[in-house]
Amino acid sequence: MVQKLTILGSTGSIGVSTLDVIRRHPERYRVEALCAHRQIDRLCEQCVEFAPRYAAVRDDNLARELRQRLATVSCATEVLSGPEALVRMAELPEVDTVMAAIVGAAGLPPTLAAALAGKTILLANKEALVMAGPVFMRAVRQGKARLLPIDSEHNAIFQSLPDDYSGDFNKSGVRGLLLTASGGPFRKTPLEDLPKVTPEQACAHPNWSMGRKISVDSATMMNKGLEVIEAHWLFNIPAENIQVVIHPQSVIHSLVQYVDGSVLAELGNPDMRTPIAQALAYPERIDSGVGPLDLFDVAALHFERPDFDRFPCLGLAYQALKDGASAPATLNAANEVAVQQFLEGRIGFVDISQVIARVMERIPASGLYSLDDVLAADAVARRMAELVVDEINQR
């Protein structure tokens, strides 16, 4: 049967990789809806190539422009706009699978809607799960949705856990998870040089090509911190059983340790098309376009302990997971603001963790029971982060 998809964030790095895998298997997949933010040129090309029934963007003016352009090339895709359009695309009754690849908190409402509508969710948008953990996982259970991780580490863990893993790690004989991290571009940069690094240097990841926000998160290692929280919710494993291991080659994408001493892992070339194809075709296997791993080329694999002084964001994320309730939402919102301000040149690289730490100190964790609670915690933390950025700039 042909699998019908909505792709949230189709113009981004994950969205483009997803369409590249789909392009190789036209007999298996049909794109029903494409959703994006600003890159109308790319979205227009994607509509022409994949002929989705719908395309959705947030902004009404951009929607009008896209409509005109599609009309000139006789493309019949219907264009919708507004945040509610994203939710509608995630709930389309004819769609079975939703690729959640919007970056940041903006992806939460449609991803949550996909969960409640019982879709198969291919989850790249880790921020949605980090900020809304208990609410999101409840929606998945309520909607009887299927959640398949796209993040390479979590996809590797998913592949290394037993097929019938029920969320009871003790019962499955799991001792813990080893989450690998490349260490990003500043693993060895002298600490005194970190305040001067530029957004371009921070976005130049040694192994993966990604969007700018996640690239900065990788440079601060907040990305790994978010992934610890993501792993906690996906696999129901306590923080103390999740260990981060620096592995600069990014060939082992993560590992599961079992009580008998066995350690299972997934390895491959660092290319997101592998986890995307794994999740798209699960439980089958399809060609992703990624070449075979050449171990002779790799030659050696290295491992290091993460340095929590160099990467304070990692400790802040563990702290947020420990504090629970709204603390991860606060962490995530403060991080989104700080990264944006860094990318726009208003604060320095080392200020990112400072902003997050101060926001977390000032906002006590509160209960998280509904989407409204999550959005409220997100909004409060964003306002506080903006205040802290002003304070930093007045120094």
**Tokens (6 digits) for 70:** 């599609």
CA count, 13 A, side-chain hemisphere, 185: 20
Angle between helices 13-23 and 273-281 in degrees, nearest 10? 60
Residues between 143 and 172 with contacts to Mg ion, criterion CB under 5 A: 151-153
With a CB cutoff of 8 Å and minimum separation 6, the contacts of 383 are none
Three-state DSSP class for residue 61: helix
Name the phi and psi angles at 286, rounded to 5.
-130, 160
Task: From residue 317, give the alpha-carbon distance in Å to each of 60, 96, 180, 336.
Answer: 37, 33, 16, 13
30 with 4: CB under 8 angstroms?
A: yes
151 near ligand NAD, judged by CB under 6 A:
yes
Task: From residue 123, give the alpha-carbon distance in Å to each of 8, 14, 97, 152, 253.
Answer: 10, 10, 11, 11, 16
Q: Which does 257 bind (CB under 5 to 8 A by kind): Mg ion, ligand NAD, none?
A: none
157 near ligand NAD, judged by CB under 6 A:
no
Select from 6, 13, 332, 341 the one that contacts ligand NAD (CB under 6 A): 13
The residues pairing with 145 across neighbouring beta strands, listed in sequence order, are: none
- Nearest distance from residue 124's CB to ligand NAD, in Å? 3
Select from 97, 125, 180, 340 the one that contacts ligand NAD (CB under 6 A): 125
Residues between 53 and 82 with contacts to ligand NAD, criterion CB under 6 A: 58
Comparison of 109 and 312: residue with beta carbon closer to ligand NAD: 109
- Nearest distance from residue 209's CB to ligand NAD, in Å? 7
Place of tokens 């997100």: 378
Residues between 200 and 219 with contacts to ligand NAD, criterion CB under 6 A: 208, 210-211, 213-214
Residues between 260 and 279 with contacts to ligand NAD, criterion CB under 6 A: 272
Residue nearest Mg ion (C-beta atom) = 151
Q: What gap in Å lies between CA 214 and CA 8, rounded to an integer?
A: 17
Q: How does strand 174-181 pair with strand 242-246?
A: parallel
Window 37-66: contact mask with Mg ion (x via CB under 5 A):
------------------------------
180 near ligand NAD, judged by CB under 6 A:
no
- Nearest distance from residue 153's CB to Mg ion, in Å? 5
Residues between 299 and 358 with contacts to ligand NAD, criterion CB under 6 A: none
Select from 5, 14, 22, 139 the one that contacts ligand NAD (CB under 6 A): 14
# chain residues binding ligand NAD, by CB under 6 A: 26
- Nearest distance from residue 227's CB to Mg ion, in Å? 6
**Tokens (6 digits) for 77:** 């895709």
With a CB cutoff of 8 Å and minimum separation 6, the contacts of 2 are 27, 28, 29, 30
Q: Which does 220 bind (CB under 5 to 8 A by kind): ligand NAD, Mg ion, none?
A: none
* Secondary structure letter of residue 291 according to DSSP: P
Select from 106, 148, 242, 316 the one that contacts ligand NAD (CB under 6 A): 106
Comparison of 125 and 353: residue with beta carbon closer to ligand NAD: 125
100 with 209: CB under 8 angstroms?
A: no
67 with 79: CB under 8 angstroms?
A: yes
Q: Which residues bind Mg ion (CB under 5 A)?
A: 151-153
Q: Which residues bind ligand NAD (CB under 6 A)?
A: 9-15, 36-37, 39, 58, 101-103, 106, 124-127, 151, 208, 210-211, 213-214, 272
